[in-house]
């Protein structure tokens, strides 16, 4: 998995911040195409805040620093890096594009028009990926009249802005109110309807210090090995797909042709999609020529196992905690926790982190020790301050799993994890904090809600069995329209997470 990441200059120590971002990326991702944002914000003499267009001397100096860190942290087989930037020519007119280079020490190329940019990139080993395409025309959305498949093998269907899939598709673009809503004519479905062979990815659009933050979009890639050569070959072949956050594994084929491929067929074609989710899957939708033609509704088709050996995934979420509006002096919470089992096996651990500082300290087949940092609760609508991990376990339903984070130590059987979720509030700690700051005990406060409301909490989500987080769709298309047909898959989980495959094109 990878995520683009957009570091920007700040008043603090930018060099140290950037170095830390690469360290965090190495913990959270397999490959890291960094996206430098070469813009300067300044005030006009009248006081209006404006974003610059084109190159500035300070940006070129920062670009040199980006390149140095890309080379320093590039470790084939462990952590692969690419240098990139968000083109800031007249993108209000032509749309935002994220440029990535295969080779190191390439120029920060910022011509005014998209056609000039693409012409320059043809002389180098580079790609330019359309970013948040579905905004209104002339408002930094993609102009599909100016598109080169050889330089843009895929485009972004989802990012921190929301989804650019289409006008009437899930997950609207609501996270950047300044740029406004999405509209028809500029989304991924519009490009596919034009006949473009365009792969699909998702990627972050964040500079918060954590490349690949959960919920901002991630790109998955089918490459033969973790090297620049193998990844680049997979990029150009469009063997890529996108997820919103949960790291679903998606396999999509037609007549054994893999996502990203194009082929000719005369008769019926066999469509197969398989997905392994992070939590329970809701449905798999097959989209042909921008219309849903087949759906596998997975919800309600499975039951938790009643006996024997089970494989399951359980999400453990830490956070919530105090808020300043209660008069408290709020501070971040540092967790040191350990999940362990003697009777089951720990098969995998998935990170669902949204800010820097999270670490898996040690892991074996029987335990996982981890350290998290959660921020105090914000009253801002929609803000989340939780950090999570998803543990995949296998064992007899009677096998027990323990979770110990110092203040809380609990044990559950696998059967109990499958039966339901639970919340573990750190009430003793909340009472101690309120007593230390205000000298008040629970008996001296009229409404005891204040203690629960300001307690850090752990949520152990209801576990999903393997039958719930794996699903497949098989469909035979006997009605191929003359010309070029395209198919792609959209997957949703019950927790609201999505995945999209790259298309497959069938000409007949």
Give the E-state strand segments of 321-380 in sequence order: 333-340, 345-352, 359-363, 367-374
> Of 10-14, 139-143, 382-386, 395-399, which range is least confident?
10-14
pLDDT band at 11 (very low <50, low <70, confident <90, very high): very low
For residue 393, what are the β-bridge partners? 312, 346
| Cβ atoms 414, 341 nearer than 8 A | no
**Distances, alpha carbon 446 to alpha carbons 208, 327, 449, 450, in Å:** 40, 16, 9, 9
Query: For position 211, what pLDDT does the model report?
Result: 94
Sign of CA dihedral 483, 130, 496, 304: positive
- Whether 25 has a pLDDT exceeding 90, the answer reads yes
- Whether 1 has a pLDDT exceeding 60, the answer reads no
H/E run at residue 90: none
What is the rounded radius of gyration, in angstroms, for the C-alpha atoms of the chain? 24
pLDDT band at 151 (very low <50, low <70, confident <90, very high): very high
Burial of 295 (0-12, 13-18, 19+ CB in 10 A): middle
Q: How many residues are listed for the chain in this entry? A: 508
pLDDT band at 5 (very low <50, low <70, confident <90, very high): low
| Cβ atoms 108, 63 nearer than 8 A | yes
Query: For position 91, what pLDDT does the model report?
Result: 86
For residue 396, what are the β-bridge partners? 309
pTM, full prediction: 0.95
- Whether 268 has a pLDDT exceeding 70, the answer reads yes
Q: Is 308 left (phi over 0), alpha (psi -120 to 50) or beta?
A: left
pLDDT band at 481 (very low <50, low <70, confident <90, very high): confident
Closest-CA residue to 276 (of 248, 245, 307): 248
Q: Where are the domains of the chain?
A: 14-245, 309-466
Question: How far apart are alpha carbons 243 and 115 in whole angstroms?
Answer: 30
Query: For position 12, what pLDDT does the model report?
Result: 60
Name the 3-class secondary structure at 115.
helix
Per-residue tokens: 248: 């679903």
Name the 3-class secondary structure at 62.
helix
Buried b (16+ CB within 10 A) or exposed e, 262-286: eeeeeeebebbbbbbbbbbbbbbbb
Question: How far apart are alpha carbons 7 and 209 in whole angstroms?
Answer: 8
Query: For position 267, what pLDDT does the model report?
Result: 86
Cβ neighbour number for residue 388 with a 10 Å cutoff: 22
| Cβ atoms 155, 200 nearer than 8 A | yes
Residue with tokens 């494989």, as numbered in its chain:
311
Name the 3-class secondary structure at 338.
strand
| Cβ atoms 352, 384 nearer than 8 A | no
Query: For position 441, what pLDDT does the model report?
Result: 93
DSSP conformation class of 454: T
493 contacts: CB under 8 Å, gap ≥ 6:
246, 248, 277, 278, 279, 280, 281, 282
Question: How far apart are alpha carbons 80 and 85 in whole angstroms?
Answer: 17
393 contacts: CB under 8 Å, gap ≥ 6:
311, 312, 313, 314, 341, 344, 345, 346, 347, 401, 414
Fold of 14-245: TIM Barrel (3.20.20)
H/E run at residue 259: none
Residue with tokens 């044990």, as numbered in its chain:
411
Question: How far apart are alpha carbons 112 and 87 in whole angstroms?
Answer: 9
């Amino acid at each position: 998995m990878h995520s683009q990441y957009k570091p920007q200059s700040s008043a603090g120590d930018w060099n140290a911040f950037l170095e830390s971002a690469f360290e965090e990326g190495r913990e959270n991702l397999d490959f890291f195409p960094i996206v430098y944002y070469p813009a300067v914000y300044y005030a006009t003499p009248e006081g209006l805040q404006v974003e610059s267009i084109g190159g500035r001397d300070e940006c070129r100096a920062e670009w040199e620093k980006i390149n140095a860190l890309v080379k320093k942290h590039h470790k084939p087989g462990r952590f692969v890096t690419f240098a990139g930037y968000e083109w800031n020519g007249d993108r209000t007119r032509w749309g935002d594009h994220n440029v990535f280079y295969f080779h190191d020490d390439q120029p920060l190329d910022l011509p005014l028009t998209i056609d000039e940019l693409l012409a320059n990139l043809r002389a180098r080993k580079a790609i330019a990926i359309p970013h948040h395409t579905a905004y209104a025309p002339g408002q930094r959305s993609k102009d599909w009249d100016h598109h080169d498949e050889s330089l843009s093998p895929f485009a972004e269907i989802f990012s921190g802005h929301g989804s650019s899939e289409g006008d009437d598709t899930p997950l609207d673009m609501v996270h950047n109110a300044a740029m406004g809503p999405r509209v028809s004519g500029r989304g991924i479905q519009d490009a596919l309807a034009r006949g473009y062979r365009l792969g699909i990815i998702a990627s972050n659009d964040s500079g918060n210090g954590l490349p690949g933050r959960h919920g901002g979009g991630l790109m998955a890639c089918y490459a033969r090995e973790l090297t620049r050569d193998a990844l680049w070959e997979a990029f150009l072949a469009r063997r890529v797909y996108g997820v919103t956050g949960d790291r679903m594994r998606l396999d999509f084929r037609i007549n054994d042709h893999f996502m990203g491929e194009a082929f000719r067929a005369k008769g019926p074609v066999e469509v197969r999609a398989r997905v392994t989710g992070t939590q329970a899957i809701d449905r798999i939708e097959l989209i042909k020529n921008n219309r849903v033609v087949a759906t596998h509704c997975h919800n309600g088709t499975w039951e938790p196992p009643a006996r024997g050996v089970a494989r399951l995934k359980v999400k453990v979420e830490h956070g919530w905690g105090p808020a300043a509006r209660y008069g408290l002096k709020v501070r971040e919470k540092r967790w040191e926790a350990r999940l362990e089992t003697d009777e089951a096996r720990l098969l995998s651990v998935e990170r669902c982190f949204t800010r820097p500082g999270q670490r898996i300290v040690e892991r074996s087949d029987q335990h996982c020790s981890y350290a998290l940092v959660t921020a105090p609760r914000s009253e801002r609508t929609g803000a989340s301050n939780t950090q999570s991990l998803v543990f995949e376990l296998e064992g007899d339903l009677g096998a027990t799993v323990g979770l110990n984070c110092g203040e809380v130590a609990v044990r559950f059987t696998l059967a109990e994890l499958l039966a339901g979720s639970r919340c573990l509030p750190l009430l003793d700690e909340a009472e101690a904090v309120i007593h230390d700051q205000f000298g008040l005990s629970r008996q001296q406060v009229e409404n005891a809600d204040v203690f629960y409301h300001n307690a850090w909490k752990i949520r152990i989500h209801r576990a999903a069995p393997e039958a719930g987080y794996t699903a497949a769709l098989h469909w035979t298309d006997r009605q191929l329209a003359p010309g070029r047909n395209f198919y792609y898959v959209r997957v949703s989980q019950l927790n609201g997470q999505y995945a999209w495959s790259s298309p497959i094109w069938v000409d007949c």
